[in-house]
Chains A and B, each alone.
Chain A
Amino acid sequence: MTPNLHLWLIPVLALIGAAINGLFGKRFSRQTVVAVALLFSGAAFAFALWVASQFSSLTTPHIETLATWIRAGEFRADFAFYLDQLSLVMLLVVTGVGFLIHIYSVGYMWEEGGFYRFFAYLNLFMFFMLTLVLASNYLLMFIGWEGVGLASYLLIGFWFTKDSAAAAGKKAFIVNRIGDFGFLIALFLMIQHFGSLDFAQVARGASPALPGGEALLTTIGLLLMVGAAGKSAQIPLYVWLPDAMEGPTPVSALIHAATMVTAGVYMVSRSHVIFEHAPGAMMVVAIIGTLTALFAATIGMCQTDIKKVLAYSTVSQLGYMFIACGVGAFSAGIFHLMTHAFFKGLLFLAAGSVIHAVGGEQDMRKMGGLRTKIPWTFWTMTAGTFAIAGFPPLAGFFSKDAILFKAFTSTYGSWIYWAIGVFTAFLTSFYMFRQWFSTFFGEYRGDDRADFHGHGEHGHGGIHESPAVMLVPLVILALLSVCGGWIGSERFDKFLAPAFHASEFTPVVQHGAMGMGPDTVVPATPVLPTGRRDVEVSETLLTGISVAAALLGFLLAGQLYYRRRDLPGKIARALGGFYETVLHKYYVDKIYAAVFVKPLIEGSTKLLWHGIDRDVIDASIDNSADGAREVSDAVRHMQSGNIRSYAGWVAAGAALVILYMVWVGTR
């Protein structure tokens, strides 16, 4: 008998916070708004910690059914929450990092209008994200999935007076809809073939023995990946994330770095049973991950906006997580997800602190020499930069190393993934240190007057350190970025193993394919490390190479952006067209606009507007322009063209329907 933990309380706490601030926040003072927001997000975190403390006494997966939700014929879905090692990790990351970012936002957003609205949205986001993470079936997960998208849309467009913010919000929403289209169809296929959307039942149902077998599972897997690519900003749907930086910086940290964008990784990991039976889908995941990692890193090298660099870096790091999923190293992916939440959250918050300090400037070319002026920010950001670059013994080192190792050695892996991964690690290190050097070293290159009147989001005067309420979260995250990896990937893998390999519902996973006999299922044994290919390669060597790549990146960036500041310009000129292409993000946005958006809009304009609709409109305008004219007149005028045309269309349509039906009937 497992105890009832009342898991539903965790998301509901956040929802209550959102509701109170959303409904009454307008009348509250700022202090009250803050109190409410922090109280409820903090309570959710505390509750999550308590759940974690109880965790060892639970039999996993621990499922709590709150109520029957939908029962229609054979199909049923419940309000049920699902707790296992995987969701516990996600739960702690979301509530923990979320709470810290709430605290930070108090300082960051203090001066802004719509203060209460901001916190209401933020709590609302937490509610949906926790629903997503704790859901025990795909339908509830999808509710959370769409919900975080909605909250993200609201938060990106928070400064809705800015046109670019509004456009960015809309873009994020639409691109995500395309991803959701894949996810939804995957859900329909699951209902059709497994008769359920429960994780447990889907896992039980997903076996190659099914009618359709591997092909079906591959299809479902690929469709899920379409959904994941939308939410987690992978090729070809990554385009929305960089634009999403129009939102306030804490939002970028919480939603577009630490939590929401990792939902795709979580979803793929959650569906690991499907993927494990569909090697084709796995390969696609790995390839998409690899390409995205590389592609985004190259773009990141040329960006000059401090937040855009981080945005492309996020896309690239998410690519790493998908590499891990694609080679079957789900736990390594989740490990990187966790450490990434720490250091990328930190980097965004620190970047926010920098922006705050220089009065809203985001262009790195106008910064420099800030090291001494904002020491706290500098040191925490340094921790984050070294962590993401993969310097031992910081968090990023362990998780990235685990992924690269698995990419090389796993049965699904290949040296190509590894090689590109290492090269990307070098690029990552380079562009991160480029940012680090440009921001904190050298001379201050900013516009002096900006110090006095400021512009954009912050109107403080003078370069100044952020208040303590912003620095405390920075410090905590910095500590986590330093130490978060010390759990070690092996131990982490072991902890997550029950969720990935010995799910009680699939006692026999096809381990044969991974080099183990089907009988040797021991829950606590991590399967994949033993499932490596016969490659004689020392882990130390691989680790050494990736550390060397990081170091190389550091040195190169130091050379170019600290010692010889004239060099980058020369190199850019030397590269000419290629540099231009990368600078313009490979023109992907333009290509999408030309290939998809424009034809759609123009097609419908030409075909429907000019072809059919406009005659009508013109006629209507003619009439309504002169409202006093006699009605009979208007009718006569209108009769001349429209009604006949309309009747013509109806008659033609009717003829087609009759033709079709008679044709069907005579067959």
Chain B
Amino acid sequence: MLPQTADYMRLLPEIVLTVFGMIVMVMDAAAEGRGEGRSRGRSIGRIKDRRIEKILGAVALVGSLAAITATFVQAQYPGFAFWNMVQVDSFSVFFHFLVAAVTAVVILTSFEYMEVQQIRAGEYYALILFGAAGMSLMSSAVELVLVFIALEISSISTYVLAGFRRRAAISSESSVKYFLLGSFATAFFLYGVALMFGATGSTNIATIGDVLRSGQIPLLAYAGVALMFVGLGFKVAAAPFHIWTPDVYEGAPSPVVGFMSTAPKAAVFAVLLRIMFEAHAPGRIGLIWVVAALSMTIGNLGALVQDNIKRLLAYSSIAHAGYLLVAYAALPDNGIPAAMFYTASYAAMNVGAFAVVSHFGSAGERYVTLGDYSGLGRRSPLLAATLTIFLLSLIGIPITGGFFAKFYVFSAALQANLVGLVIVGVLNSAVGAYYYLRIIVVMYMREPQQEVPVARIPVGLGFALAISLVTTIYLGVLPGRVLEYASRTATAWMR
């Protein structure tokens, strides 16, 4: 029996992303062959190379847009594919769309960045596309073995992407750090899968769920959940596995940070949703309670004293992982939609914020401290206003997506009677307001300390910012449709 057409259709976005990834890779190699030896420190051929790299970028962009389209095609074929390896449902379609959209925005942001930082772009775009394929696959995989492989694809591509600022030692350092620690964490996940297999005799999430629901839960399953959670918790930067985040975010190229703080996280959160709810992971609430509270607190307190914007946003992303995890402790019918909504709105605002950071950093990411942002409100009102809206959304001010995201998450948690956790969360978001506001204050209310040049906003970045901005505000003003979609997904799931 061979795979049917429908099987392939259910995998269409992944296939599209991989194929485009390979096209970019091959085109790059072909161009390199012609322009002979350009990789070895030559500066004369650079202008011509730039053109080639722009073309590569454009191809990658087309690839990500094609993946978005493919998502809609895929949505027409709900069901299982490849012998229960992959399940296409409205849940997975949601995350496919999200990942593809984030990819497109990140590629748009990267055009300028690549040029300013003089980074060779060929492998860069290919890795982003391959990584996106892995992330998409994670959200639809219902077999832990496949989840593991997809997770590795997504992780390895981000490890490498983190090291793309070749001229900065800090970037290579962050790449290696991320790689070593990430592998360490993945080992936990794999061991957890093995124990889960030992406990239930299956690696299929639905089957595991059935086994765990049907009888007494063996202690081995608890240990399995613990280990899998360690692995996944590392990937989403939840405390106490967050420790790598500030270093890696600081060292990695800004568009990549925008990418890896959203898309892979969204995918891992999708996996976590499946494991926690569909596989009926035991001991969920207490574990999540502690980890969520810890992440929120450490993230927010850590961010209070940061002077480097990228480190600040790294701590902020730890805090946001905490807020998001709150939804996992809630009941499935509220928790799942709340988590989905949060993922989407966090993706929109964070990608946007990093787009601004990457534009403003200019060559060598020189301008990334808080002081460099002083007076930005006057020098580049548009850029400052955009960043302000993203920051307000990160605080959770109404009419931005961040508000409703927090609102639903906390509301879901309260309906599960997690009063303590909600109080911790809301208090934390009050503390969090402080450091986001610090950036806004610096931008608008401080005299610039030194002459920091602000380049014109190029078209690609303009589009990227516009998309993130519109999405952030759309989710804040009219959250109804997305939320309804998410809630229908949850109900369909729980049936």
Interface of A with B (CB < 8 Å)? 68-73, 75, 142-143, 146-147, 150, 157, 160-161, 163, 165-166, 169-170, 173-174, 177-178, 180-181, 184-185, 187-189, 191-192, 600-601, 603-605, 607-609, 612-613, 616, 620, 623-624, 626-627, 629, 631, 634-635, 638, 642-643, 646-647, 649-650, 652-654, 656-658, 660-662, 664-666
Are B411's CB and A657's CB within 8 A?
A: no
Selected contact of B445 from candidates A161, A188, A600, A627, CB within 8 Å? A161
Q: How far is the CA of A150 from the CA of B410 in the complex (A)?
A: 22
Contact stretch, chosen from B93-101, B104-112, B279-287, B463-471:
B279-287
A627 touches B305 (CB 8 A): no
Cα distance, A634 to B239, chains bound together (Å):
27
**Chain A CB within 10 Å, residue with most, of B172, B241, B398:** B398
Let me know if B49 is at the binding interface, CB within 8 A. no
Residue of B nearest to A26 (CB): B381
Given A150-B392, A166-B441, A657-B287, check contact A646 B168 (CB 8 Å). no
User: A643 and B177 in contact (CB under 8 A), knowing A161-B447, A624-B169, A653-B230?
Assistant: yes
8 closest residue pairs by CB, A with B: A653-B240, A665-B222, A166-B445, A160-B445, A661-B226, A604-B301, A634-B169, A188-B414
Q: From known contacts A71-B480, A73-B487, infer whether A608 and B234 are also in contact, taking CB-CB under 8 Å.
A: no
Would A646 and B176 count as touching, CB distance under 8 A?
no
**In the complex, A321→B335 CA distance in Å?**
40
Interface 0/1 of B238-250, CB less than 8 Å to A: 0111011011001
Give bound CA distance, A143 to B429, whole Å. Answer: 17
CB closest residue in chain B, given A197 = B411
Report the contact-size class of chain B (Cβ under 8 Å from the partner).
35 or more
A-B contact pairs, 18 of them (CB 8 A): A72-B484, A146-B397, A150-B392, A170-B434, A173-B437, A177-B429, A184-B407, A600-B431, A609-B305, A612-B243, A634-B170, A638-B173, A642-B177, A650-B230, A654-B226, A660-B283, A665-B221, A665-B222
Nearest CB in chain A: distance from B65 CB, A: 30
* 11 more CB-based (< 8 A) A-B contacts, given A70-B479, A647-B181, A650-B185: A71-B483, A73-B337, A142-B398, A150-B397, A169-B441, A174-B434, A191-B414, A635-B172, A642-B247, A650-B184, A662-B226
Does B484 lie within 8 Å of A165, measured CB to CB?
A: no
Given contacts A71-B480, A660-B226, A662-B226, contact A649 B243 (CB under 8 A): yes
Q: Which residues of A have CB within 8 Å of B277?
A: none
* Chain B residue at minimal CB-CB distance from A179: B430
Shortest Cβ distance from residue A111 to the other chain B in the assembled complex, whole angstroms = 20
Q: Which residue of A lies closest to B294 (CB)?
A: A653
Instruction: Determine if A654 and B230 form an interchain contact, defined as CB atoms under 8 angstroms apart.
Output: yes
* Bound Cα distance from A68 to B446, whole angstroms: 42
Q: B13-21, B147-155, B203-211, B419-427: which lies at the A interface?
A: B419-427
Complex: A327 Cα to B447 Cα, angstroms: 50
Q: Tell yes or no: B84 within 8 A of A by CB.
A: no
On whether the beta carbons of B240 and A649 are closer than 8 Å, the reply is yes
- Complex: how many Å from CA A72 to CA B283? 27
Q: Is the interface of B mostly helix, strand, loop or mixed?
A: helix
Find chain A residues with CB under 8 A from B446 CB: 166
Instruction: Provide the B450-480 mask, 1 if CB < 8 A to any CB of A, else 0.
Output: 0000000000000000000000000000111
Give the distance in Å from the alpha carbon of A170 to the alpha carbon of B395 in the complex.
Answer: 13
Evaluate contact between B430 and A635: CB separation under 8 angstroms: no
- Report which of A188, A604, A613 forms a contact with B411, defined as CB distance below 8 A: A188
- B173 touches which of A165, A604, A620 (Cβ 8 Å): A620
**A613 partner, pick from B227, B246, B445, beta carbons under 8 A:** B246
Tell whether B119 is near chain A: CB-to-CB under 8 Å. no
Residue of B nearest to A139 (CB): B407
In the complex, the answer to whether A165 meets B445 with C-beta atoms within 8 Å is yes
Q: Contacts A170-B437, A660-B226 hold; do A646 and B301 have CB atoms under 8 A apart?
A: no
Query: Which residues of A sit under 8 angstroms from B229, Cβ to Cβ?
Result: 657
Bound: A160/B374 CA distance, A: 12
User: B407: which A residues are within 8 A, CB to CB?
Assistant: 184
Q: Would you give the shortest CB distance from B136 to chain A, in whole angstroms?
A: 26
Asked if B223 is at the interface of the complex by the 8 Å CB criterion, the answer is yes
| Bound complex: CA A189 to CA B423 (Å) | 12
Does residue B433 face the partner (Cβ distance < 8 Å to A)?
yes
Contact of A661 among B287, B392, B404 (CB under 8 A): B287
Residues in B neighbouring A150, C-beta threshold 8 A: 392, 397
What residues of chain B have their CB less than 8 Å away from a CB belonging to chain A?
Answer: 167-170, 172-173, 176-177, 180-181, 184-185, 188, 217, 219, 221-223, 225-227, 229-230, 233-234, 239-241, 243-244, 246-247, 250-251, 282-283, 286-287, 290-291, 298, 301-302, 304-305, 333-334, 337, 377, 392, 397-399, 403-404, 407-408, 410-411, 414-415, 422-423, 426-427, 429-431, 433-434, 437-438, 441, 444-447, 478-480, 483-484, 486-487, 491
The interface residues of chain A lying within 8 Å CB-to-CB of B168 are 624, 627
Task: Tell me, in angstroms, the Cα distance from A143 to B473 when the chains sit together.
Answer: 13
Whether the pair B478, A69 counts as a contact (CB closer than 8 A) is yes
CA distance A160 to B423 in the complex (A): 33
Task: Name the residue on A nearest B334 (C-beta).
Answer: A73
A188 to B413, CA, bound (A): 9
CB atoms of B484 and A634 under 8 A apart? no
Q: A73 to chain B: which residues have CB within 8 Å?
A: 333-334, 337, 487, 491
B304 interface neighbour in A185, A191, A604, Cβ under 8 Å: A604
Complex interface: chain A residues within 8 A of B251 (CB): 620
**A181–B430 touching, CB < 8 Å:** yes
Nearest chain A CB to B291's CB is how many angstroms away? Answer: 8
Closest partner residue, chain A, to B410 (CB atom): A188
Q: Which of A160, A174, A638 is B176 in contact with, Cβ under 8 Å?
A: A638
Contact of B301 among A166, A187, A607, A649 (CB under 8 A): A607
Inter-subunit contact B433/A173 (CB<8 Å)? yes
Are B399 and A143 interface neighbours, CB within 8 A? yes
Asked whether, in the complex, the Cβ of B445 is within 8 Å of the Cβ of A157, the reply is yes
A652 to B239, CA, bound (A): 12
Chain A residues contacting B290 (CB-CB under 8 Å) are 660
Tell me, in angstroms, the Cα distance from A358 to B429 when the chains sit together.
44
Q: Are B226 and A657 in contact (CB under 8 A)?
A: yes
Chain A residues with Cβ below 8 Å from B377 are 160
B42 to chain A minimum Cβ distance, whole angstroms, is 19
Q: How far is the CB of B361 from chain A (nearest CB, A)?
A: 14
With A69-B480, A647-B181 as contacts: A174 and B430 at CB distance below 8 Å: yes
Considering the chains assembled together, what is the distance between the CA atoms of A605 and B422 in angstroms? 25
How far is it, in angstroms, between the C-alpha of A152 and the C-alpha of B415 when the chains are bound?
Answer: 33
Q: Are A650 and B234 in contact (CB under 8 A)?
A: yes
Interface pair A616/B169, CB less than 8 Å apart: no
Docked-complex contact B287 and A635, CB < 8 angstroms: no
B441 touches A170 (CB 8 A): yes
Contact A70 B445 (CB under 8 A): no
Q: Is there contact, CB below 8 Å, between B398 and A147? A: yes
The answer on a CB contact under 8 Å between B169 and A143 is: no
Given contacts A181-B427, A604-B305, A608-B305, contact A647 B184 (CB under 8 A): yes
B180, B291, B337: the one within 8 Å of A643 (CB):
B180
Complex Cα spacing A75 to B487, Å: 11
Whether B167 and A627, one on each chain, are in contact in the complex, defined by CB atoms closer than 8 angstroms, is yes
Shortest distance from the beta carbon of A150 to any chain B beta carbon, whole Å: 6
Q: Among B181, B333, B480, find the residue whose CB has the most chain A CB atoms closer than 10 A.
A: B480
B408 to chain A: which residues have CB within 8 Å? 72
Closest approach, in angstroms, between the C-beta of B349 and any C-beta of chain A?
Answer: 16
> Which residues of chain B come closer than 8 Å to A173, judged between CB atoms?
433, 437
B-side contacts of A664, CB under 8 Å: 222, 282-283, 286-287
| A472 to B402 Cα, complex, angstroms | 43
Q: With A620-B170, A620-B247 as given contacts, are A71 and B305 in contact (CB-CB < 8 Å)?
A: no
* Least distance between A161 CB and chain B CB atoms (Å): 7
Q: Contacts A174-B437, A660-B226, A661-B287 known; A188 to B483 CB distance under 8 Å?
A: no
Knowing A157-B445, A624-B170, A647-B181 are in contact, say whether A72-B414 is a contact too (CB < 8 A). Answer: no
Complexed CA–CA distance, A634 and B175 (Å): 12
